[in-house]
Amino acid sequence: MASNLSNSPFSPLANALIKAFEEKQEITTDKKISVNILVTKVASYYEKLRTSMDYGNEETILRRATERILKRLLVLDTDPTSLAKDLVRELIWASYFKDDTVPESITKKVSDSIRLHLELKEKVSKLKLNQEIDLNQFIIQILSCEIYTILAPNNPREAMANFMFQVLKDSVEITDDSKQTKDVQVFIAIRKNFARDDIAFLRYKLFVQIFGRLTDANLNQTISSFPEGLNEIIYQLSYPRKDRIFNHIKRKTPPFLILYDLLRQEQTNLKELIKNQENFKSVIYAICNTRYNGIKNKVRTAIIRSFIFILFTKAFMALSIEGAFERVFYGSVQWGSIALNTIVPPVLMVIAGMGIKTPDDKNSHIIYLDIYKLLLEENPKITEPISLKLKSTSAKTIKDYVFSILWFLSIFLIFGAISAILSKLHFNVLSQAIFLFFIAIISFLTYRIYQTASAYTVIFKKTLLTPVLDFFFVPIIRVGRSFTEGIAQINFILIIIDYIIETPFKGIVGFFEQWFSYLAAKREELE
């Protein structure tokens, strides 16, 4: 292997990346966890329904499911061993892992992780901590990420993220802040853009950077320095210039995503492939086209999941709040306005999603040129650097105050215009408020779907309508983001499902699995 790499045409940095993709995972001969097929079918159907109502991207479904199951199990039991066994078994029931693929020995690692994190939570809860963050939520999220890393390690993806960091870290400069902070911000932007990490994963990655993965050896040190580390994590994730850095990294993420696919597809053939530029180019174009076609499926999935998330939440509010309000103040339920209020926002999202377009060959050509540089050049430069300042050197001008006033006026103008139209349609005050609430959420979810669709786009075209669309929709989208993040935390339907429905349901599933195992044992006695 070493000689092959030394004679390869690739740069040293690219060689290290390629080697990570060539390394094979160890095959364990440990006994695997087996579950009943019928039980798995039932549980997996439930899980698909449950995740369709959840808010979040596709890449973090397993982590979110782990967090959700952990929260529910911790209400009933705090023994790490039984928690680990039940958690892993439920994840297999839900078809996150195939039957007979997860070694029984892995539950010991999960159990140790649960024990350490619960001990960490118990000890640090006695310290003076930053009140901006829910400690229990924070540690459960860290634990869910650690369990995800144990159960589903993805070394090639981590290697690609590290490669991306090495290539892009010097393309950002913050003139009045430290290099360390700049590097952390580039690291966060890469994790969000390439790995699609959510807030829990970002917290976990920073936690590991500061403390290392939690072990018996570093537990006490982690406890003693936890307040400082927590404050650092909070600061870095709310850094004033994070959005500028995120958008800078986003523009050059597509080549790394396609390179990741290329390395997975051509692990042993890449050295020969790159000798013929036309073949190399055609393979990259083919991967791009596959991904462009996959965008349609991703958009469709995102629309369906967002549609269900909104529909369930909207139906709950319409029947429990809106209907009760109208019965009290108007003497009867105005089913017409409730129907429009429930159906129109999701339908608008579907219509907007249908207008999403995929990239073309010009986009693929730029990606091809960038990948060629990434593999062959020792210090590849695929983007122009940006220079930022943390603090503004000048005081706010009159123009800044005018723009701030215009921003708030645009919000009132847009929402006021929609409210006036609803009044013409005889919507009462509460119905109007609910409609505006969900229009804002729909706008934000649609924007996220557009972001999903542009994951492989490097050519962004502006039209004459762009400023007009920005004026009308950016204020709604910003308001919608705040609403969506809030409703995701206090979605009463999901709370009811997770604690009142899911607990007995999983209990029944577990009972039937044991019963089927008992019947199988009795059958074996007849042989």
Quick one: 195 and 331 in the same domain? no
Query: Is 139 a residue whose pLDDT tops 90?
Result: yes
Q: Which tokens is 423 given?
A: 């009044």
Quick one: 404 and 509 in the same domain? no
What pLDDT score does 523 carry?
67
What pLDDT score does 2 carry?
40
pLDDT digit string (tens) for 250-307?
999 999 999 999 999 987 788 888 888 899 999 999 999 999 888 777 777 777 766 7
Whether 166 is in a domain gets the answer no
Q: Which residue has the higher pLDDT, 405 or 116?
A: 116
pLDDT digit string (tens) for 183-217?
999 999 999 999 999 999 999 999 999 999 999 99
Quick one: 313 and 327 in the same domain? yes
DSSP state of 216: T
Q: Which residue has the higher pLDDT, 31 or 181?
A: 181
Quick one: 238 and 316 in the same domain? no
Quick one: 368 and 283 in the same domain? yes
Quick one: 400 and 313 in the same domain? yes
pLDDT digit string (tens) for 479-488?
877 777 665 5
Indicate the pTM of the whole model. 0.81
pLDDT digit string (tens) for 79-108?
999 999 999 998 998 889 988 889 999 999
Quick one: 140 and 41 in the same domain? yes
Q: How many domains does the chain have?
A: 2
What pLDDT score does 5 carry?
42
3-class DSSP assignment, residue 23 = coil
Quick one: 473 and 443 in the same domain? yes
- 132-146, 251-265, 361-375, 464-478: which range is least confident on average? 464-478
Residues 320, 435: Cα–Cα separation, whole Å: 15
Name the residue with tokens 């930053």: 130
Whether 228 is in a domain gets the answer yes
Integer Rg of the chain from CA: 26
Residue 174 backbone dihedrals phi, psi, to 5 degrees: -115, 105
Amino acid of residue 493: I
Quick one: 200 and 340 in the same domain? no
Our CA dihedral for 50, 56, 58, 60, rounded to 10 degrees, sits at -100
**Within 13 Å and on the Cβ side, how many CA atoms surround 65?**
29
pLDDT digit string (tens) for 325-359?
767 776 666 666 667 767 777 777 777 767 777 88
Q: Which tokens is 252 given?
A: 């050059």
Whether 162 is in a domain gets the answer no
Bridge partners for 388 per DSSP: 174
Residues 164, 116: Cα–Cα separation, whole Å: 32
Handedness of CA 291, 297, 299, 301 (dihedral sign): negative
Q: Which tokens is 214 given?
A: 């939690």
Quick one: 52 and 121 in the same domain? yes
Whether 371 is in a domain gets the answer yes
* Alpha-carbon distances, residue 290 vs 368, 413, 415 (angstroms): 14, 43, 40
Whether 267 is in a domain gets the answer yes
pLDDT digit string (tens) for 419-465?
888 888 877 787 788 788 878 877 787 787 777 778 888 877 666 66
3-class DSSP assignment, residue 172 = strand
What pLDDT score does 171 carry?
94
Whether 134 is in a domain gets the answer yes
Residues 171, 382: Cα–Cα separation, whole Å: 9
What pLDDT score does 442 carry?
78
Whether 3 is in a domain gets the answer no
Cα 166 from chain centre: 23
Quick one: 435 and 509 in the same domain? no
Average confidence score pLDDT of the chain = 83
Whether 54 is in a domain gets the answer yes
3-class DSSP assignment, residue 194 = coil
- In the 3-class helix/strand/coil scheme, how is 235-296 assigned residue by residue? HHHCCCCHHHHHHHHHCCCHHHHHHHHHHHHCCCCHHHHCCCHHHHHHHHHHHHHHHHHHHH
pLDDT digit string (tens) for 221-255?
999 999 999 999 999 999 999 999 999 999 999 99
What pLDDT score does 4 carry?
44
Q: Which residue has the higher pLDDT, 382 or 432?
A: 382
Helix H or strand E segment including 108 = helix 106-124
Quick one: 142 and 266 in the same domain? no
Residues 33, 109: Cα–Cα separation, whole Å: 15
Q: Which tokens is 316 given?
A: 């709950």
Residue range(s) defining the domain that contains residue 475: 260-489
